[in-house]
Structure 1
Amino acid sequence: MDQRRGSPFSETDVVANYRYRPPYPAAVFRKLLAIAPRSEHLLDIGCGPGKISCALAGAFTSVTAVDPSEHMIALGRSLPGGNAGNIRWIESFAEDFPANGGPFDLTVAAASIHWMDHSRLFPHLLANAAPGHVMAVISGDDPFEPPWQSDWHSFLGKWVPEVTGQPFDHDKRDRVHGSGVADG
């Protein structure tokens, strides 16, 4: 079995059943549109079948949807909205994707940031960010008291202050930090 991060998402059975995961509520899309500084270039990292990319394609001039699983990319292309002319599907790890679709106004990592190498990812994203860029990290499908919760809070405790200059308070929910990191 492939030991890369997120490798289960390359398995055909996982991909075939992924379409049955619950959709994001409309409020998520409204919030993303509200925090985007412009509607030119959207980057969706760890996009899976494009639940964010497809839903927001009509609101952005271009959408770059990045996922390391060729099967997830194929599923995304086959779903409603997946063949939109302004979506560029890229099979790549988020840390390595060719960024010739930017600079990006809004970057979204929906239920995927934990699969990525943050020490490589954030410099790559920063190098391809438009002025005023906003990054939104969306959590969802949260299990009750997951065993990795303390690791997640450690991740946020390290990177939220790094990106926003503000301390991270894991007891607050549904917040948007002033310089563009959202967590809800």
Structure 2
Amino acid sequence: MLRKSRYFAPKHAESFKDQSIAEAYHYRPPYPAETFVSLEGLVKETPRRVLDAGCGIGYIARNLVDVVDHIDAVDFSQAMITEGQSHPNGNHPNIRWLHGPMETVELEPPYGLITAGESVHWMDWEIVFPRFQQLLVPEGYLVIMKHNTVPDEWDLLSTIIPRYTTNKDYQSFDMIEELEQVNLFKKVGEKTTVSMLYPQSIEDYIASYHSRSGFSCERMGLEQAAAFDQEAEDILRKLYPDGIVSLQIAANIIWGLPGKRGGHFSTALF
């Protein structure tokens, strides 16, 4: 049985509509350039049309605009879209920003590729995966991506995160494994890019936490947010006395076919 509480938590997803999260989102590490070469190679058919589902501030969409013909960048947070439009390529003519939930937003298929960064776990899988199947060209891929970061951001501040996060009911799980178990996704391929060095100031590194659902300044409250920042800085100054957190970042890219319970995986033209 699919445990909806493990991945679909509207009360937590709503935090991405908060202004503080949108404004802090650009402090998250970028994807290495190799990521977009790989994505370009996965786009099926012409014209080369891509759907970026749960686009956030457009880390994927804004870096694909020069190699595809059109991108629909969808997010249910207007704050995220507005922020994304202010960053490089945010007003590129190949991007159409669409505000609405992925489950119901009005779209113009078919798409030669659907991408989803660290967003799928916030969606209602029972609705979006069958929809993805219908939106793709025949044999088109859904790509699910995530950052691989060394050191892992949750490890560096693991002693204080449980006290400050507002997501007290979070449980770790293997999303791809659970999707495959319930016949909503069939993995076809996987690639991890070469790691790249990403040095970040301690201040910016701490700010990146406030782009995550459990650390919205609006939901933590200013006093708690400031207390977290101070404790985090105390820990990080001991680890990085020069004030720079040296991260190694890579992208884990998994592509496959979306499906539906009891159905098959061949995609059909919408």
Corresponding letter in the other structure for 1:10 = K
2: CA distance, partners of 1:122 / 1:33: 22
Corresponding letter in the other structure for 2:94 = N
- Give the direction of change, closer, same or farther, for the CA distance of 1:83–1:156 in structure 2 (3 Å limit): same
CA contact (8 A) 1:46 1:112 kept: yes
- Give the direction of change, closer, same or farther, for the CA distance of 1:165–1:112 in structure 2 (3 Å limit): closer
- Which SS does the other structure have where 1:114 is aligned? helix
Q: TM-score, normalised by structure 1?
A: 0.81
Corresponding letter in the other structure for 1:158 = Q
Report how far residue 95 of structure 1 moved: 1.2
Match of 1:155 among 157, 170, 178: 178
Report how far residue 65 of structure 1 moved: 0.3
CA RMSD, Structure 1 to Structure 2 (Å) = 2.8
1:1-184 aligned within 5 A: 3-4=10-11, 6-38=13-45, 40-100=48-108, 102-140=109-147, 143=152, 148-150=171-173, 152=175, 154-158=177-181, 162-164=184-186, 174=192, 179-180=256-257
1: CA distance, partners of 2:145 / 2:83: 21
2: CA distance, partners of 1:59 / 1:173: 20
1: CA distance, partners of 2:45 / 2:105: 22
CA contact (8 A) 1:105 1:134 kept: yes
Equivalent residue, structure 1, for 2:239: none
Structure 1 unaligned runs (5+)? 167-171
CA contact (8 A) 1:5 1:116 kept: no
- Which SS does the other structure have where 1:135 is aligned? strand
Corresponding letter in the other structure for 1:14 = I
Report how far residue 164 of structure 1 moved: 2.7
- Give the direction of change, closer, same or farther, for the CA distance of 1:152–1:163 in structure 2 (3 Å limit): closer
2: CA distance, partners of 1:5 / 1:128: 27
Structure 2 unaligned runs (5+)? 1-9, 159-169, 193-252, 259-270
Is the deviation greater in 102-111 or in 142-151? 142-151
Q: TM-score, normalised by structure 2?
A: 0.57
Identity among equivalent pairs (%): 28
The higher-RCO structure (CA 8 Å, 6+ apart) is 2
